[in-house]
Amino acid sequence: MKRLELSDIPEAAVFEACRDELRGRIIAHKDLRRVEIGDRVTLLFEDRETLRWQVLEMCRVEGTRDAAGIQHELDVYNELIPGEDELTATLFIEITDLAEIRPALDRLVGLDEHVTLEVGGHAVRAVFDPDQMEDDRISAVQYIRFRFPAEAAAAFRAGEPATLGIDHPNYTCRARLAPEVQASLAADLAGGCAPLVDLDAVAPAALPEETVVLARGRVRAVRPARGRAEGHVCVEVPGDARPYLELPEDLTAELHALALEMARGVTRTHGRCRISVDATAVPARIDVYAPPGPAR
């Protein structure tokens, strides 16, 4: 399956314009790629669309717009892109009782030796990420791969019955893949599904516009069309091609003064405020917004 590239990540405004539609389709797509094995283990199988959504959401939440920052997110999530004749998944060990989390996880040490996908007479063992593994501990979230021999991949694509199984001494369960789930996963072995939404086709007229809240001297405060949180305002230096770290002290002082003024307004309205600096963005900017959670 082809890895994600910068060209697969649209500008923030384009994503915002179609985010609701894409979110609905991603939820439905994930429903076809989620398999429960017993009452404590769930696998969510990843592909380019689930991982592109993760990159888009991470960039949205963190306000990442520069190419270097986006590429960093791509490098992280591209590690989960399936290779040829391969499925990848995020494995969740679901424990709701907080007091039981550590003892329950301790009982599952060694799980990496006991997860298989059976199809066409082949038992394909899951390969766990070695960087996550310890001899005496296991985390509740694991990244795994199923690397199919050619014959097993052919059987899976042909729709022969497939079963996920765990035969750990302290947890033994099996789950037959529903035909619609197997069909969705079989697309991964054939290069992946088509994009759920054609982000390149979003019409410019559909894109929301930002609003200038206040301009003072060489800086201004802009309210994004769809901010990351309540009260979100970007304080920026328009028309200046230098990032924050390269600004002269007098211009930085102007930027900070307006950011503090905006922060006082956000605090009065929402009872809380957060200020963050994107050191690499051009034009240079400071984000001011009310973070999620109750007022303090």
Q: Does residue 191 sit in the same domain as residue 218?
A: no
Q: Does residue 196 sit in the same domain as residue 270?
A: no
Last residue of a domain, which of 166, 201, 236?
201
Report residue 246's pLDDT band, with 50, 70 and 90 as the boundaries: very high
Most confident option among 19-33, 59-73, 214-228:
19-33
Q: What per-residue confidence (pLDDT) applies to 158?
A: 95
Q: Does residue 14 sit in the same domain as residue 32?
A: yes
Higher pLDDT, 106 or 18: 106
Last residue of a domain, which of 144, 177, 201?
201
Q: What per-residue confidence (pLDDT) applies to 296?
A: 42
Find residue 45's DSSP bridge partners. 89
Q: What per-residue confidence (pLDDT) applies to 205?
A: 53
177-209 pLDDT, tens digit per residue, is 999 999 999 999 998 888 888 877 765 555 566
Q: Does residue 24 sit in the same domain as residue 168?
A: yes
Name the residue range of residue 116's domain. 6-201
Q: What per-residue confidence (pLDDT) applies to 292?
A: 73
CA 18 to chain centre: 17
Say which range, 9-13, 98-102, 142-146, 164-168, has the weakest mean pLDDT.
9-13
**CATH number of the domain within which 222 lies:** 3.30.428.10
Per DSSP, the chain holds a count of helices (H) and strands (E) of 7, 13
Whether 295 is in a domain gets the answer no
Tell me: pLDDT of 45 over 90: yes
Most confident option among 17-21, 236-240, 263-267:
263-267
Sheet holding 115-119, edge to edge: 34-37, 41-46, 86-93, 141-147, 122-128, 115-119, 162-168, 171-176
Last residue of a domain, which of 168, 201, 234?
201
Provide the percentage of residues in the chain whose pLDDT is more than 70. Answer: 95
Task: Answer for the pair 172, 110: CB distance below 8 angstroms, yes or no.
Answer: no
Tell me: pLDDT of 13 over 50: yes
